[in-house]
Every structure is written in structure tokens, then in C-alpha cells.
Amino acid sequence: MPFDDDNVQLLFKKIRSGIFPIPETLNPSVVDLLQKMLTVDPVRRATIKDIREHDWFKINLPDYLFPKQCEESTNIIDLDAIQEVCEKFGVTESEMHDALLVNDRHDQLVIAYHLIIDNKRIWNEARKVEIADFFAASSPPHSAFLSLA
């Protein structure tokens, strides 16, 4: 943890000052990101968007954690997700459709629907990676084919 102290008053003082030790073993890119995230001034502090766009954050990050723009803006309704929400919340499909049309971000039906959609997308992307990894790991090396000739 960047801020640590047994004395709560001293701990808060350290947090407010924004001064913290940085291990020398850390990659300079990580240090840059941490300093931006832990900036005391909230106006200058890194936003979630800044963090997600930082070079270090994107290293070896699975694609399924970054949905494609077209997936986020799609207007296609997932009927299975609607049925699942209806069953869990005891509402009709008509009520569910109405909630989606209003698209109130705070409506529990809309939130549940989007969580189900997101979970499906993440699962599908992770599954694609697993399948690709399986075939990459089980394929014989290219040189094996050359020795057969």
C-alpha cells in the first residue's frame, strides 16, 4: 500500500500530502500511472478513461475487457437475457421491454439486463481465447511438418 501508518492522523496526513515511497524495482511506466492515479488534486488526478488508455494498463490485457464500440451501441435485444430478468424479478416481458425503452440507468431491470449481456460477452470472449490457446498449444511445431517431407 502506498500509504501506511498505525496512527490514523498520520495516515490521513500522508494521504493528503500525496507523498509515498516508490520501489525502485517498478517499471517507469507503472510509476507514471501510479503517480497520476494518486495525485492529490482531483482535477489533475487520472480518470478511469485515462487509466484505461495508459500504455502500461493495456499490456497483455485480454480483449474481452475492452468491448468494441459497435457492441456497446447495438440496439439488438437479447431475448434470453430478457427472459432471465423476467424470471428472476417476476415481471412480464412487456414490463421488461418498457424498461429497456425508457433506458433509465438506475432501473434495476435495465441494470440486471445489461449485467447479463456483459457477462455473456465476457464469457464468449474468454471462451474464444481458451479455444485459440488450446489449438495453439496442441498444434505440432511447424518444423515437424518439414521433417516429414
* Each residue's pLDDT tens digit, 34-70: 999 999 888 999 998 899 889 998 888 776 666 555 4
Residue 75 lies in a domain: yes
- Residues contacting residue 148 through CB under 8 Å, at least 6 positions apart: none
Rounded to two decimals, what is the model's pTM? 0.43
Residue with cell 502500461: 56
Residues 144, 76 share a domain: yes
CB-based burial label for 81 (10 Å; 0-12, 13-18, 19+): buried
User: What CATH code is carried by the domain that includes residue 82?
Assistant: 1.10.8.10
* Each residue's pLDDT tens digit, 18-34: 878 888 899 999 999 99
5 or 65: which carries more pLDDT confidence?
5
- Measure Cα distances from 24 to 28, 29, 95 in Å: 9, 12, 57
Question: Residue 140: which domain range?
Answer: 65-148
* Each residue's pLDDT tens digit, 98-136: 999 888 888 999 999 999 998 988 888 877 777 766 666
Residues 130, 81 share a domain: yes
Residues 108, 41 share a domain: no
